Amino acid sequence: MVIRVILVLCLAGQAFAACEGPTLEDIQFTEKEYKMLKQVQEEEAILGNLGTLMSWSPLITLAGGSLTDTIISISTTDWDKLQNANKSLLKLRLRTAENVLLFIFQENPKNRQFWQALADYYQCVAS
């Protein structure tokens, strides 16, 4: 069964100028491809939300605080851990690329070019 999908892939508010994802113009996906695309989309939504939360959490604590609160908050935030956490998100994006490549290898999908472009995009983003 072929599911007709017209899809716009939004990547959770993060722009990666050097990395371009595949374009989707009236592509027909098989049921397996559609399930894989939904999985990738869900993973990206989770990673995007985590990235946004990690980026804004130190700044949210500053809102409405006094100058003393702001100074304490800035000095007690472990910025190195935030940087390492961001690297972990990039590793998870690389895992998404690996999952897509495994899908290509195991399923030999009809829209192989699309899936390869998607895997390339995630590898680019993670590097």
First to last CA, the chain: 36
**Tokens (6 digits) for 116:** 């390869």
The pLDDT value recorded for residue 8 is 27
The pLDDT value recorded for residue 38 is 94
Q: Domains in the chain: how many in total?
A: 1
25-77 pLDDT, tens digit per residue, is 778 889 999 999 999 999 999 988 888 888 787 777 777 777 777 777 778 77
Nearest-angstrom CA–CA distance, 114 and 21: 9
When pLDDT is cut at 50, 70 and 90, the band that residue 3 belongs to is: very low
The pLDDT value recorded for residue 56 is 80
Nearest-angstrom CA–CA distance, 118 and 37: 10
pLDDT over 60 at 1, yes or no: no
Whether the model clears a pTM of 0.75, i.e. scores above it, the answer is no
What separation in angstroms does the CA of 26 have from each of 3, 8, 104, 124?
Answer: 11, 10, 20, 25
Residue with tokens 């017209």: 6
71-127 pLDDT, tens digit per residue, is 777 787 777 777 777 788 888 889 999 999 999 999 998 899 899 999 998 888 888
Q: What is the span of the domain harbouring residue 34? A: 2-126
When pLDDT is cut at 50, 70 and 90, the band that residue 4 belongs to is: very low
In 3D space, the residue among 89, 58, 56 whose CA is nearest the CA of residue 75 turns out to be: 58
> Which position has the higher pLDDT, 4 or 27?
27
Nearest-angstrom CA–CA distance, 91 and 97: 10
In 3D space, the residue among 44, 50, 3 whose CA is nearest the CA of residue 21 turns out to be: 44
Torsion, Cα of 33, 28, 91, 95 (10° steps): 20
pLDDT over 50 at 16, yes or no: no
In 3D space, the residue among 53, 18, 27, 12 whose CA is nearest the CA of residue 113 turns out to be: 27
